[in-house]
Structure 1
Amino acid sequence: MEDPRWDTSRFDVDYWRKFEGLLAHARSLGILVSVIFYTDGARPGSYPFARDLALPSQEELLYYQYAAARLAAYSNVMWDLTNEWHLFRTMDWVEAVGAYLRSCDPYGHPLSVHGCNEFPFRRSAWADFAAYQSWDEDGGYAFMLHNRHKQVETGRRMPQINEEYGYEDHYPRGWGEDRVAPARNAESRRRIAWEIAMAGGYQTTGESAANGLGGWLNGLGDDSMTMLQGYRHMAAFFESIPWWTLEPMPELAGGNMCLAHPGQRYVVYLPEGGRLQLSLPAGHFRANWYNPRTGEATQSKPGAGPGVLTIRAPDRKDWVLHVWRDRLG
């Protein structure tokens, strides 16, 4: 509809109550919800406020203030100022709305803005994490490691998140590089998720509901959707260790993807198995191979330092080597 005749002086209370119900249910399941304010300028009639302003109007700011007043009390809320800001909004608009929403939220929920493969708000006081959209392998290890380093250079650390790197079985035509199946199957998404984690980053993902029914979020998915099974194994692995103490240190593993707390713990991801050399300091260390496809761990030979631990993966599939200091050694 070109002109749905929006009334920006009033809010649809029933809709907001429905959204509050969604947040409450998600909270009961331990799920965080990214509240994305939709400002897609490419679809006529989809947004009630003026799109051609360099700064937000008072009515638009009221929209964000109302959202904070109703939703900020939910502990599982994260704010995302808009989708694709670089296509429909100016940097000044983002800065103004980001600062305003921050001032409206007494609980300080995490706040960012969804955009592209650059995040020009690294130093902005309102931004709590850097959000990117970089699809497929281009948004994997090298991309996220580069952005992590750029953030560190500012002297202001914040999480780096690739919010959109392609969905399970999603093959749009005319954009998205016109990829075809099985380029974005569950296996490829799982591998990229591991790459992002090994760069010290985070990711969000989803499925395309290509079966015509829907997906996990509406309960209408089917057995063809398997991506989150692999993600469950990744989450279980990192939740079993103090992951927040680890830093990307590929130089300790011959350039391989490596997270480390030097002298205490090492995690190395090998996308195609193979032989690995890991530099260890003095001490005794235990090790196992974690299968990211099944979630199973197999004990490996222990190592001792100082020196180089040389070890080979069980086969040419992807594997995770986990090495940690043996407190009894």
Structure 2
Amino acid sequence: MKKTLCYIALVIAVCAQSATGYLRIHPENSRYFQETTTGKPVLIASCAGVVPTARDCDYVRQIIEMRTKNITYGRVWHFLPWGGKVAIWPWAESQTPGGFWGGRGGYKLDLNVWNPLYWNRLRDAMARCERAGIYCEIHLFDRCGMSPASKDRWGNNPWASDHNINNLETPDSSGDGTPDFYKIHEKPNLRYHQERYVRKMIDETIRFSNMIYEIENEHWNYNNPEWAAYWGKFIKDYIREKYPGCPRLISYSSLQEDLEAFYDRDEVDIINRHFGNEAERNPDVLNQYIESRWAKGKPINIDEFANGVTDASLLRKMCWIIITSGGHFHIEDCEPSAKPFDVCENIRQFLIQSGWDFVHSAPNRTLVTSGQGYCMAKPGKEYVAYFPNGGKVGIKLEKGHYIARWWNTVSGGFENALEFEHAGGEKMLNAPTQSDWVLHIARVQ
């Protein structure tokens, strides 16, 4: 979840040029993306965000900083119950008092009347991101602003029944917004206003080629995939019918098991998996999750993790495990001491300097025969393996003539290049130190 609004690190590493056309699923490997204008493959490794709808947030400065740091992907935080009085809503105020609004009181909203300030700021931010070459993932709904019950979640949320004049079939601000918010087939007025809002969001942002639509951030308390399936189909059908030349990717994040259904359904293109502190306690769960689902053929974005992490070595370890397991990542709310920019820039430089053909690789941890490690490989052609503890390691190779190089995960750059003939089977190598390193092995043509 996001609660720090403007105060977020802004980092990305993407193996592609800036966003100059919409993203699509890569035609040669459906776990990765392709930039449609250049045809370049895209791997997301980021820590980024744009907050255009908080009065105290300078989103223009954010976007400038992102561009300065070569950031080309960010999440858009725009629906902000925890923003309190600084939050700007999509709808205009009515003349009816009686809203709770986190205890501050105030006029209720009229969900039939749009608020120009909100939409003007959102359009301006997305236009600036597009010009800066930044892909933007924007959530349509956000469970974190609805549940659990508190005055700075549902207690300050426009969807609460006592915060609008539109007779929504939802709990009032003293309650919890879930699961009632999801029961749209039982609540026609709620469904009408949700659909109206989603169509408006698409109408205002589809003009920007850099958009990715996330159905919801951190869904919970309604473990039924039909809710997200409904919205995935609704969004895709609306775009197909009204904007046939503007396809966009759809993502979804859930903390419940309903997320698993979308590995086998087409309403959602990108699986956004959020870990709490589980991955911090045991980073190996990242590999266990991603590699075990590789055969499903969908992009897996560990879209929010490392919240509150202070240890740079731990953050670096988690990020490289994700990359060498076949996933994407987005760091959220870690502390500056964890150096999120450093690790993302290091990965970006590795992708550039190695020329790694990740699109034609696949995760296969069993190729690591000695030493704890994680491996992506195109067997006989190219291997990228991450070893958290360095030292003496073994990796199983096909017969061939290779060059092996060690990538420094802290300072960047390759070290200790070794060219060798190999008869096939295990190859033992020594990392430069006992700390973490990435081994890049490529066949010599």
1:247 to 355, 358, 362: 362
User: Residue 156 of structure 2 aligns with which residue?
Assistant: 45
User: Residue 272 of structure 1 aligns with which residue?
Assistant: 389
The answer to whether residue 274 in structure 2 is matched with residue 159 in structure 1 is no
Q: Structure 1 residues 117 and 198 mapped into 2: Cα distance closer, same or farther (>3 Å)?
A: farther
Q: Which amino acid aligns with 1:313?
A: A
The answer to whether residue 437 in structure 2 is matched with residue 319 in structure 1 is yes
Could you list the runs of 5+ residues in structure 1 that have no partner in the other structure?
171-182, 211-222
Deviations 1:140-196 (A, max 9, x none): 4433443443362xxx511011111123xx2xxxxxxxxxxxx53333222211111
Deviations 1:28-51 (A, max 9, x none): 222211101244223223132635
Distance of 2:311 and 2:238 partners within structure 1: 41
Distance of 2:419 and 2:358 partners within structure 1: 21
User: Residue 402 of structure 2 aligns with which residue?
Assistant: 285
Would the aligned equivalents of 1:145 and 1:200 in 2 still touch at CA under 8 Å? no
Deviation of 1:136 (Å): 4.2
User: Residue 229 of structure 2 aligns with which residue?
Assistant: 95
1:236 to 339, 342, 349: 349
**Counterpart secondary structure, 1:258:** strand
Identity %: 20
Deviation of 1:290 (Å): 0.3
Q: Which amino acid aligns with 1:133?
A: H
Q: Pick the structure with more strand per residue.
A: 2
**Counterpart secondary structure, 2:217:** coil
Deviation of 1:74 (Å): 0.9
User: Residue 111 of structure 1 aligns with which residue?
Assistant: 250
Deviation of 1:280 (Å): 1.9
Q: Which amino acid aligns with 2:218?
A: E
Distance of 2:222 and 2:132 partners within structure 1: 34
Which has the bigger relative contact order, CA under 8 A and spacing at least 6?
Answer: 2
Distance of 2:337 and 2:393 partners within structure 1: 35
Distance of 1:73 and 1:90 partners within structure 2: 32
Would the aligned equivalents of 1:137 and 1:192 in 2 still touch at CA under 8 Å? no
Distance of 1:58 and 1:247 partners within structure 2: 44
Q: Structure 1 residues 265 and 85 mapped into 2: Cα distance closer, same or farther (>3 Å)?
A: same
User: Residue 149 of structure 1 aligns with which residue?
Assistant: 292
The answer to whether residue 270 in structure 2 is matched with residue 129 in structure 1 is yes
1:28 to 124, 131, 137: 131
Distance of 1:287 and 1:57 partners within structure 2: 57
**Counterpart secondary structure, 1:127:** coil
Normalization by structure 1: what TM-score? 0.82
Q: Which amino acid aligns with 1:143?
A: L
Could you list the runs of 5+ residues in structure 2 that have no partner in the other structure?
1-100, 148-152, 160-167, 171-176, 185-189
The answer to whether residue 110 in structure 2 is matched with residue 7 in structure 1 is yes
Aligned residues: 297
Would the aligned equivalents of 1:38 and 1:47 in 2 still touch at CA under 8 Å? no
Cα RMSD, aligned residues only: 2.4
Would the aligned equivalents of 1:144 and 1:160 in 2 still touch at CA under 8 Å? no
Normalization by structure 2: what TM-score? 0.62
Would the aligned equivalents of 1:136 and 1:192 in 2 still touch at CA under 8 Å? no
Would the aligned equivalents of 2:129 and 2:136 in 1 still touch at CA under 8 Å? yes
Deviations 1:221-269 (A, max 9, x none): xx86732122111122124321111111112221621110001001110
